[in-house]
């Protein structure tokens, strides 16, 4: 079976093995090397993926501009892992919400198995959160959150080469491009408008952090989402982002346009800064 067909069939591990051998025997085949770069990216092998990207640029300098976009995304992914492992704090756009430190502390407590303390902190955050409402693809919702506890109140974005969080309460409008190619299942182009009328042209990571560690290729490709118990009542997502919009769940790639309403409490919080 052709490597492209293996990828379409969701047989990522087989495609990686086959493409590695094909590139080894035909190193000048840029098409095969490009596919291998893509597969390595879904596998979270960022350093190897970047080396193949460098080789593609050496083989054809015209590809350098496009390749730089992917280099930036890889750097953003590396920063993302540092945030996940509590090696650095996330950057916030357009600004940090009042509950950021509480949230990060709660996530560290969860990581350390201190579920009661984490729950106490998360309950405190819930008491100060402004209500989130609006429409997704024209359908109204009341209440919006990521179903992964680590990212409950934030969109993940990569702007140029920087990874950042954007609080839901800070967003006026989100537009997501329809996926048209393989890499759109990993990083999808989007435009955000904040309440300060800041427009962010960015990429949204489609998959939860470290989805590449999952044993199922369908999860690695974002075709399904799995939930890994963390202990207590908590779990983390692997695969495509899933959001609770009111009483319904919506995946990231199902969103074309989300329009958020600004609550009275949100306006009060914004004016107090």
Q: For 110-145, what is each residue's pLDDT tens digit?
A: 999 999 999 999 999 999 999 999 999 999 999 999
In sequence order, what are the residues at sequence separation of 6 or more whose Cβ sits closer than 8 angstroms to the Cβ of residue 252? 176, 188, 204, 206, 240, 241, 242, 243
In sequence order, what are the residues at sequence separation of 6 or more whose Cβ sits closer than 8 angstroms to the Cβ of residue 109? 115, 117, 118, 121
Average pLDDT over residues 173-190: 96
* Mean of pLDDT over the chain: 93
Q: What are phi and psi of 105, to 5 degrees?
A: -65, -40
Domain end residue (candidates: 37, 62, 84): 84
How many residues comprise the chain?
273
Query: So what's the pLDDT on residue 62?
Result: 85
Q: Tell me, yes or no, whether 132 and 225 share the same domain.
A: yes
Position 102 confidence tier, pLDDT thresholds 50, 70, 90: very high
Strand partners, 205: 187
Q: What percent of the chain has pLDDT over 90?
A: 89
**Strand, coil or helix: 60:** coil
Position 63 confidence tier, pLDDT thresholds 50, 70, 90: confident
Q: Tell me, yes or no, whether 186 and 261 share the same domain.
A: yes
Domain end residue (candidates: 22, 50, 84): 84
User: Residue 37 half-sphere exposure, CB side, CA atoms within 13 Å?
Assistant: 20
Q: Tell me, yes or no, whether 256 and 132 share the same domain.
A: yes
Q: Tell me, yes or no, whether 112 and 227 share the same domain.
A: yes
Tell if the pTM clears 0.95, that is, is over it: no
Domain end residue (candidates: 59, 84, 109): 84
In order of 51, 177, 239, the CA distances from 92 in angstroms are 30, 23, 23
* DSSP state letters, 210-229: TGGGSS-HHHHTTSSEEEEE
β-strand pairing of 187-194 with 199-205? antiparallel
Q: Tell me, yes or no, whether 71 and 192 share the same domain.
A: no
Quick one: DSSP state of residue 262? P
Range(s) of the domain holding residue 13: 3-84
Q: Tell me, yes or no, whether 76 and 103 share the same domain.
A: no
The DSSP H or E segment spanning 205 is strand 199-205
d(CA 40, CA 55): 14
Q: Tell me, yes or no, whether 114 and 76 share the same domain.
A: no
Domains of the chain: total? 2
Average pLDDT over residues 235-264: 94
Q: Tell me, yes or no, whether 76 and 146 share the same domain.
A: no
Q: Tell me, yes or no, whether 7 and 137 share the same domain.
A: no
Q: Tell me, yes or no, whether 224 and 168 share the same domain.
A: yes
**Is the CB of residue 166 less than 8 Å from the CB of residue 192?**
yes
Query: So what's the pLDDT on residue 264?
Result: 59
pLDDT at 271 over 80: no
Q: Tell me, yes or no, whether 115 and 232 share the same domain.
A: yes
Q: The domain that contains 26 carries what CATH number? A: 1.25.40.10
pLDDT at 266 over 70: no
Query: So what's the pLDDT on residue 268?
Result: 41
Per-residue pLDDT tens over the stretch 1-17: 899 999 989 999 999 99
Instruction: Among 23-37, 53-67, 149-163, 204-218, name the one with the lowest average pLDDT.
Output: 53-67
Q: How far is CA 141 from the centre of its chain?
A: 22
Q: Tell me, yes or no, whether 71 and 95 share the same domain.
A: no
β-strand pairing of 162-167 with 91-92? parallel
Query: So what's the pLDDT on residue 190?
Result: 98
């Amino acid at each position: 079976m052709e490597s492209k067909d293996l990828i379409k069939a969701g047989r990522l591990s087989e495609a990686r093995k086959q493409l590695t051998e094909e590139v080894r025997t035909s190193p000048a085949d840029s098409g095969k090397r490009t596919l291998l770069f893509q597969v390595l990216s879904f596998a979270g092998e960022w350093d190897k993926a970047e080396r193949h990207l460098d080789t593609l640029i050496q083989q054809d300098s015209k590809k350098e501009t496009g390749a730089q976009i992917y280099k930036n995304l890889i750097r953003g992914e590396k920063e993302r892992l540092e945030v996940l492992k509590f090696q650095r704090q996330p950057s916030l756009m357009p600004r940090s919400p009042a509950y950021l430190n509480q949230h990060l502390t709660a996530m560290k407590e969860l990581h350390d198995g201190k579920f009661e303390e984490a729950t106490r902190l998360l309950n405190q955050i819930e008491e100060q959160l402004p209500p989130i409402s609006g429409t997704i693809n024209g359908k109204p919702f009341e209440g919006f959150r990521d179903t992964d506890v680590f990212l409950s109140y934030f969109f993940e974005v990569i702007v140029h080469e920087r990874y950042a969080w954007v609080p839901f309460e800070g967003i006026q409008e989100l537009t997501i491009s329809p996926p048209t190619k393989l890499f759109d299942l990993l990083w999808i182009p989007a435009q955000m408008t904040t309440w300060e009328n800041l427009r962010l042209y960015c990429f949204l990571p489609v998959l939860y952090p470290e989805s590449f560690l999952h044993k199922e290729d369908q999860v690695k490709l974002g075709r399904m989402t799995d939930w890994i118990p963390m202990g207590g009542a908590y779990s983390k997502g692997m695969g495509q982002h899933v959001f609770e919009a009111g009483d319904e769940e919506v995946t990231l790639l199902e969103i074309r346009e989300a329009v958020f309403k600004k609550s009275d409490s949100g306006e009060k919080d914004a004016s107090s800064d």
